[in-house]
């Protein structure tokens, strides 16, 4: 089967700026404080990123789920990166249970949603059904489009089931996550099957994206650019440009992703184009944040 060429199709680049694991000991460019995160996001935005996927941290670099930090981050990004799509993580390392969604009242454009459990390098990534349902309900309540984090094929099928039941805002935007130790590796046959599954379940025009962890980042960027998907990069997933070189910034990883996309004839989507592709409003909805921020 020959896939239709993706050339000419705008390519959304998502930058995952911080995550919950990498520290300045791994790479001094990892932004930890909110002002550092805003500065790093701004540079990534100027390099072509139209979505920022964000976690927040405590000052000692440990993961946080503090809504006030999310509020300050959102306010700064909206001020410095007009139109950029803001996606908060509800991933499991930043807190337990419902604290993972404690910032959704801030009404980011999007939030990540894991709909099933799997293994991570050193632990189980627990996403029990009642918590998944609660997070999805909160996203409906605040009109937040989820990004479905597919660590496994079953997660894509689960998203279909939830969408059919009206549990998700909009058509699911699925992200294939590959290369997490003890979860799905970067396997080309599986990747191709994921692409077909999304087309079959959500429509051939349904946008999707893919993320590769560590050394798989550029490889998965390449596969996704070629197959017509959208790209995720950033220091959350990978702190190196190559085996011997630390990435100097999130912007440098965005630039690399943009170059990969260009190699397949894919222009980089502007924030406005990304909003249209994902069915988001043209401008960010005003949040209820009232945090003071001077960044
Ligand atoms: Zn994340």
| 92-120: pLDDT as tens digits | 765 678 899 999 999 999 999 999 999 99
CA of 88 to the centre of ligand 1 (A): 8
Q: Return all residues near 191 (Cβ < 8 A) that are at least 6 apart.
A: 176, 178, 210, 220, 223, 227
How many C-beta atoms surround the C-beta of residue 160 within 10 A? 18
Classify residue 7 as left (phi > 0), alpha (psi -120 to 50) or beta: beta
Pick from 206, 146, 155, 202: nearest CA to 178? 155
User: What pLDDT is stored for residue 97 in this prediction?
Assistant: 87
User: Between 188-202 and 153-164, two packed helices, what is the crossing angle to 10 degrees?
Assistant: 10
How many C-beta atoms surround the C-beta of residue 155 within 10 A? 24
Domains detected in the chain: 13-278 (3.20.20.70)
Structure tokens at 152: 């496994």
Task: Decide if 151 contacts 159 (C-beta within 8 A).
Answer: no
Pick from 112, 227, 231: nearest CA to 178? 231
pLDDT at 257 over 70: yes
> Strand 118-119 and strand 63-64: pairing?
unpaired
State how far Cα 160 lies from the chain centre: 19
Model confidence pLDDT, tens digit, residues 153-175: 999 999 999 999 999 999 999 99
Which tops the pLDDT comparison, 285 or 111?
A: 111
CA of 65 to the centre of ligand 1 (A): 12
What is the reported pTM? 0.94
Structure tokens at 21: 């694991």
CA of 150 to the centre of ligand 1 (A): 12
Cα angle, residue 192 at apex, residues 185 and 123 outer, rounded to 5°:
25
CA of 199 to the centre of ligand 1 (A): 25
CA of 236 to the centre of ligand 1 (A): 7
pLDDT at 42 over 80: yes
Q: What is the mean pLDDT of the chain?
A: 93
Model confidence pLDDT, tens digit, residues 228-253: 999 999 999 999 999 999 999 999 99
User: What pLDDT is stored for residue 288 in this prediction?
Assistant: 40
Range from 96-100, 123-127, 265-269 that averages highest in pLDDT: 265-269
Q: What percent of the chain has pLDDT over 70?
A: 93
CA of 149 to the centre of ligand 1 (A): 9
CA of 136 to the centre of ligand 1 (A): 17
CA of 113 to the centre of ligand 1 (A): 10
The CA distances from residue 74 to 166, 250, 262, in Å, are 28, 18, 30
CA of 156 to the centre of ligand 1 (A): 18
How many C-beta atoms surround the C-beta of residue 93 within 10 A? 17
CA of 116 to the centre of ligand 1 (A): 15
3-state secondary structure of 48: coil
User: What pLDDT is stored for residue 96 in this prediction?
Assistant: 77
CA of 283 to the centre of ligand 1 (A): 23
Mean pLDDT for 241-266 is: 97
């Amino acid at each position: 089967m020959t896939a239709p060429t993706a050339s000419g199709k705008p390519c959304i680049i998502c930058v995952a700026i911080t995550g919950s694991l990498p520290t300045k000991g791994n790479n001094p460019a990892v932004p930890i404080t909110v002002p550092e995160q805003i500065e790093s996001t701004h540079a990534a935005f100027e390099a072509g990123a139209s979505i920022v996927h964000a976690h927040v941290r405590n000052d000692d670099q440990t993961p946080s789920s503090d809504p006030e930090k999310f509020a300050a981050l959102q306010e700064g990004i909206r001020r410095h990166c007009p139109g950029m799509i803001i996606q908060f993580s509800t991933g499991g390392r930043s807190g337990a249970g419902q604290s993972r969604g404690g910032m959704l009242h801030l009404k980011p454009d999007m939030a990540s949603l894991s709909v099933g459990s799997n293994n991570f390098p050193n632990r189980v990534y627990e996403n029990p059904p009642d918590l998944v349902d609660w997070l999805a309900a909160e996203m409906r309540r605040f009109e937040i489009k989820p990004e479905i984090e597919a660590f496994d094929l079953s997660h894509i099928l689960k998203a279909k089931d939830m969408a059919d039941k009206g549990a998700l805002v909009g058509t699911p935007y699925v992200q294939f996550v590959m290369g997490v130790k003890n979860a799905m590796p970067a396997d080309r046959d599986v990747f191709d099957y994921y692409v077909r599954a999304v087309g079959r379940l959500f429509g051939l025009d349904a946008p999707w994206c893919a993320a590769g962890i560590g050394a798989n980042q550029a490889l998965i960027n390449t596969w996704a650019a070629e197959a017509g998907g959208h790209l995720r990069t950033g220091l959350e997933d990978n702190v190196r440009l190559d085996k011997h070189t630390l990435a100097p910034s999130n912007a440098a990883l965005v630039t690399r992703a943009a170059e990969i996309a260009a190699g397949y004839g894919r222009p980089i989507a502007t924030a406005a184009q990304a909003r249209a592709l994902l069915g988001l409003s043209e401008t960010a909805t005003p949040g209820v944040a009232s945090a003071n921020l001077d960044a």
